[in-house]
Structure 1
């Protein structure tokens, strides 16, 4: 008798077929076809396992699940999942720790270069038929030799640091538990307080989880502490940055620019004032998406699901609750 895995995010049939090609024996896969809690309640009701990427899974959705054994995050950050309710209901929660570190780190580097050199602005203007040339919304800067501050220094942050070695950057990092001196020397990084990092960095790159401590951490006071020539990169979570404060800082040229792949509300509303800022690069939560990383990540999720099906524990590195 087969068990059902449901992907709660809306998904094109072609992508679902790629997932089905990787399914272990004894499982069938269904997926979302629309957004909203009502639809998720409907499709999760009879599933034994659920996978969530970017959609929020709240208590009401979880309570609609009659058979659910495991809720699996497609990625790392579980702030969009009600893990407390899952625990109360006896539903295990897992994730693929570190699985997207290289894709997100590479994407981060792309955003740095785009924000520093106004690549996206030039692309958009030329697509409209306007050869902007030197008529850019601000000064442009090289990445080479700059000071880069990395806020949050887990697998993604450390991969960003490795990629930046070739640019000869001075790399500061902010982390609750600093690395050992040997680890810092190997990566070529130096620990700094958040205040020191903001003041000294030409590029501030966010890679921390969204928690009560980090919510709105980058706010008006943080922008005031940054260099006027600095750029902010956010591939962490939208809620880490106070978006209204960012809009004010970019309009006033309090910082030179920013690049964001994540937002307080996703999908980003079409009337968001963020979309009208020439010194802001925006992408629709793409950082973790890489075709050559698809199969390894999916196989790992399916392996965790198969373990639970056999009555085995999820590996410690992937277990959340």
Structure 2
């Protein structure tokens, strides 16, 4: 069997991390698969060059592994060339870089490691929210630049306490964000396709609001919903302008949920107080992506779900899935994104 893993490149040299946890999400770490597969006669290819992976290795791969952080975008056309492919795994959560419907039609199972990064992403969302509200990034930059201008930072710095925070999407990540915000003494509202029960709302400390009401009432909004045809471009010009003047927006969901150019305009004319995102489109973001240079942002390069602890979880899930596949056993049901149909039909 040929297993191909397209992962982010690792640094040539790393500062020691005293936790003892390994960097498994990189090419060098290879999700811990090398040791398990090497003695069994299977071929493992671990690389970061996505073009090479699609051109040289996808056509004869039995298992193809990618990540949300360094995604290989797999269209129906790509998948039709993968004559042997039976399993497509995402090392993490979120398989929107894959045409899952086409994969199912071609007899390919699409799976991801459900729940592996929910703690890490929820913590990152709160981190980015605080960075915006407290005007942290410009304050840090003053230190780097050798400056000391308190008034410049204080003019845009606020307390989080007593603010109204809206969460769009109340899945596992949204729920954990709400729980972590309870200690800040804020009002939390949420919008989601299926409203949670009253008991759950009491536990999360959040109340359901229709999206338009949530947007109009919130001092800050956190996006934690999946990318679907309904949520793509959900925050365009009209919805961004419906936010409170000076409101903050945090996006740890998917870059395409926010219209790229509309966001830049909303920041440049000072309608929004700031934007923090961990997700982009495309990824990796090109050097000239306008979100790199727009005002009052606290962007990160999709690192929220790949903390060292999260890597151990999603790598373990990948190894379990590969072992099950090689043994002819079914994958964990909660991992499966798209179940295969009979191979054929347009192949």
Question: TM-score w.r.t. structure 2 length?
Answer: 0.86
Distance (whole Å) between structure 2 residues aligned to residue 34 and residue 60 of structure 1: 19
Aligned runs of 1:7-46 on 2, under 5 Å? 7-12=5-10, 15-19=26-30, 21-22=32-33, 23-25=35-37, 26=40, 27-36=42-51, 38-46=52-60
Deviation at 1:125, TM superposition (A): 3.5
Return closer, same or farther for 1:154/1:161 CA change in 2, 3 Å cut-off. Answer: same
Deviation at 1:161, TM superposition (A): 0.7
In the alignment, structure 1 residue 52 sits paired with structure 2 residue 66 = yes
Aligned runs of 1:168-207 on 2, under 5 Å? 168-207=185-224
> Which moves more between the two structures, 52-61 or 166-175?
52-61
SS class of match (2:110):
strand
- Where does residue 66 of structure 1 map in the other structure? 83
Return closer, same or farther for 1:138/1:82 CA change in 2, 3 Å cut-off. Answer: farther
Deviations 1:15-66 (A, max 9, x none): 3343364553534431224243x54231223322111112212223323323
Match of 2:251 among 230, 234, 246: 234
In the alignment, structure 1 residue 5 sits paired with structure 2 residue 12 = no
In the alignment, structure 1 residue 82 sits paired with structure 2 residue 99 = yes
Distance (whole Å) between structure 1 residues aligned to residue 305 and residue 253 of structure 2: 11
SS class of match (2:166):
strand
Deviation at 1:301, TM superposition (A): 1.4
- Work out the number of aligned pairs and report it: 318
> Which moves more between the two structures, 272-281 or 298-307?
272-281
Q: 1:137, 1:278 within 8 Å by CA — same for their partners in 2?
A: no
Distance (whole Å) between structure 2 residues aligned to residue 74 and residue 278 of structure 1: 33
Distance (whole Å) between structure 1 residues aligned to residue 100 and residue 154 of structure 2: 43
Deviations 1:266-298 (A, max 9, x none): 222222332223311111111101112212211
- Where does residue 241 of structure 2 map in the other structure? 224
In the alignment, structure 1 residue 134 sits paired with structure 2 residue 134 = no
- Where does residue 282 of structure 2 map in the other structure? 265
- Where does residue 310 of structure 2 map in the other structure? 293
Distance (whole Å) between structure 2 residues aligned to residue 33 and residue 97 of structure 1: 23
Query: Structure 1: which 5+ residue stretches go unaligned?
Result: none
Q: 2:135, 2:157 within 8 Å by CA — same for their partners in 1?
A: yes
Deviation at 1:137, TM superposition (A): 9.4
Return closer, same or farther for 1:296/1:123 CA change in 2, 3 Å cut-off. Answer: same
In the alignment, structure 1 residue 100 sits paired with structure 2 residue 117 = yes
Return closer, same or farther for 1:310/1:171 CA change in 2, 3 Å cut-off. Answer: same
Deviation at 1:210, TM superposition (A): 0.9
Distance (whole Å) between structure 2 residues aligned to residue 273 and residue 186 of structure 1: 39
Query: Structure 2: which 5+ residue stretches go unaligned?
Result: 13-22, 339-347
Return closer, same or farther for 1:200/1:216 CA change in 2, 3 Å cut-off. Answer: same
SS class of match (1:141):
coil
In the alignment, structure 1 residue 112 sits paired with structure 2 residue 141 = no
Return closer, same or farther for 1:98/1:183 CA change in 2, 3 Å cut-off. Answer: same
Q: 1:238, 1:262 within 8 Å by CA — same for their partners in 2?
A: yes
